[in-house]
């Protein structure tokens, strides 16, 4: 099992995050607020910029950073800072997440504007989503909590890919 990055490495990630925010301030000639940077991300995602109402934060996965230290320092950190800066400059829904504005920032950061990476994540703790039993005309299915909640709220319905019948919850 991979161990998460230690406090010294977290400080390096924070310093690199600050470096990219400062670079954006110089390039765009305006200040940007310093937002929380958390090391609480789990699963298969190395980093995430999240904005919900007035709260904005950058989250990093300390296990993936540990396994692929330099790759994440050079790629994930500028990637997430660029999302934050684009959000601050253009707002929500005005530009594409990895559009020309984001790509331009990645260029200024001297970082590869590659969107995702496909690496071996063996030894990285994975999130496990609970499943719920559903039936169709031919078999039982295990449906993720996300899909289960959509169906319970009437926001979605799913068909069996074999018999094409609607899935029904087995309460």
Long-range contacts of 157-161 (CB under 8 A, 24+ apart): 158/134, 160/136
CA distances from 25 to 51, 81, 95, 100 (A): 20, 12, 20, 18
User: Is 114 assigned a catalytic role?
Assistant: no
The catalytic position among 3, 7, 18, 80 is: 80
Residue 140 to residue 160: CA distance in whole angstroms = 10
Structure tokens at 171: 């309460």
- Residues contacting 125, CB < 8 A, separation 6+: 1, 42, 43, 63
Helices (H), the chain: 7-28, 62-67, 69-71, 77-90, 100-108, 145-152
Residues recorded for the chain: 171
Beta bridge partners of 159: 166
**Active site amino acids:** 80
């Amino acid at each position: 099992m991979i161990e998460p990055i230690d406090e010294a490495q977290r400080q390096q990630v924070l310093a690199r995050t600050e470096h990219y925010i400062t670079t954006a301030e110089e390039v765009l000639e305006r200040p940007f607020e310093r937002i929380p940077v958390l090391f609480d991300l789990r699963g298969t995602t190395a980093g995430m910029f999240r904005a919900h109402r007035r709260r904005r934060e950058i989250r990093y996965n300390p296990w993936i950073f540990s396994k692929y230290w330099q790759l994440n320092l050079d790629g994930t950190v500028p990637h997430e800072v660029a999302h934050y800066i684009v959000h601050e400059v253009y707002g929500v829904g005005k530009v594409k997440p990895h559009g020309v504005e984001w790509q331009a920032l990645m260029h200024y950061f001297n970082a590869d504007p590659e969107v995702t990476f496909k690496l071996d994540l063996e030894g990285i703790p994975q999130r496990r989503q609970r499943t719920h039993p559903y039936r169709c005309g031919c078999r039982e299915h295990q449906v993720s909590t996300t899909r289960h909640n959509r169906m319970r709220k009437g926001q979605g319905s799913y068909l069996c890919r074999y018999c094409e019948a609607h899935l029904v919850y087995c309460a």
